Amino acid sequence: MKRNLKMGVSAPGGNASKGSLRYTISIPPVMAQELGITPEDRDIILTLEDHKITIEKGEVKELIKFTGVKAAVGQFNGWQGHAEIMLNRESGKVWCDVFANGQEWIEYSEEVSRLMSKSTVRMDERDDKTSMREINERAEVMMKTE
């Protein structure tokens, strides 16, 4: 089934920046029904590849917003000793544990993963620094692999 449609173009309103535009299309009811889209179940996956837009029925997965990253990075960077940045993969919470020496640690449940650590034992690691960007990237990778 194929249809020629016109794309709607309008100003988005709200807090949108000056000059920004909103692009919309309306899908014919027969196509929505063919995909199994109902008012109660309307999640779709929209893909742009090779200059073609594909719409398919699918479940929208919520993105996890990582919280506590700024505080964890500040604590990690300010500590000249054993420190570990941790991630709770269920909640998206990030925090930093600091210890007096490299022989200490905290046991966590299996949904918690270590994103980064540095040690007091190795002098070349004592001043290691990280960034919010690096921690967010590591957290995203961890969420995909676990």
In this prediction, residue 61 carries a pLDDT of: 61
Residue 15 lies in a domain: yes
Report the C-alpha gap between 83 and 105 in whole angstroms: 9
Q: Is 94 exposed, middle or buried (0-12, 13-18, 19+ CB in 10 A)?
A: buried
Check whether residue 37 and residue 75 sit in a common domain. no
In this prediction, residue 60 carries a pLDDT of: 62
Residue 12 lies in a domain: yes
Check whether residue 124 and residue 97 sit in a common domain. yes
Residue 127 lies in a domain: yes
Domain span at residue 131? 69-145
Residue 3 lies in a domain: no
Check whether residue 96 and residue 123 sit in a common domain. yes
Count of domains for the chain: 2
In this prediction, residue 122 carries a pLDDT of: 65
Query: For each of the chain's 146 residues, which pLDDT tens digit applies?
Result: 888 999 999 988 777 778 889 999 999 999 999 999 999 888 888 888 899 999 988 876 666 789 999 999 999 999 888 899 999 998 999 999 999 877 888 999 999 999 999 886 666 766 778 999 999 989 988 887 75
Q: What is the pTM (predicted TM-score) of this model?
A: 0.56
DSSP-assigned states of every residue in 50-99? TTEEEEEE-PPPPPPPPBSHHHHHHHHHH-SSEEEEEEETTT-BEEEEEE
In this prediction, residue 119 carries a pLDDT of: 80
Residue 1 lies in a domain: no
Check whether residue 43 and residue 77 sit in a common domain. no
